[in-house]
Amino acid sequence: DADVTQTPRNRITKTGKRIMLECSQTKGHDRMYWYRQDPGLGLRLIYYSFDVKDINKGEISDGYSVSRQAQAKFSLSLESAIPNQTALYFCATSGSQGYGYTFGSGTRLTVV
């Protein structure tokens, strides 16, 4: 089984719908992250969590929310999806010193 599992792998949704992307990990890491990748290649940080009771905004948090349900689970929600949120979304985990970032396989989200 993968260390970091994201579901779904692909999703098409309509403008205005609420959607949740889920991430679970077996690395035992405290830290979890959500990134967005657009066709221009770069990874942009949406939200991150250093432990179950800690949630922090990243550089592009507007229009997104997260929930850290347990050490191993970190979900990303789009409350009202819009077409410019069409992108590839990655969940990642790391140890407390910032080493060993491990990424999931990504969720390709299309908002029509």
Under rule CB under 8 A, which residues in 5-44 are in contact with another protein? 40-43
| 39 touches 48 (CB < 8 A) | no
Number of shown-chain residues binding another protein (CB under 8 A): 21
> Rounded to the nearest whole angstrom, what is the least distance from the CB of residue 12 to another protein in the complex?
17
CA–CA separation, 80 vs 33, rounded Å?
Answer: 21
Residue 49: Cβ-neighbour burial (10 angstroms; 0-12, 13-18, 19+): buried
One of 36, 90, 93, 111 touching another protein (CB under 8 A):
90
Q: Output the six-digit token pair for 51.
A: 């432990």
98 binds another protein (CB under 8 A): yes
Q: Which is nearer to another protein, 16 or 28 (CB)?
A: 28
From 6, 56, 59, select the one nearest 31 (Cα to Cα): 56
Q: Is the peptide bond before 39 cis (omega within 30 degrees of 0)?
A: no
> Rounded to the nearest whole angstrom, what is the least distance from the CB of residue 63 to another protein in the complex?
21
- Tell me the window of 14-22, 63-71, 72-80, 102-110 that interacts with another protein (CB under 8 A): 102-110
- List residues near another protein by CB under 8 A: 4, 40-43, 48, 50, 90, 92, 94, 96-106
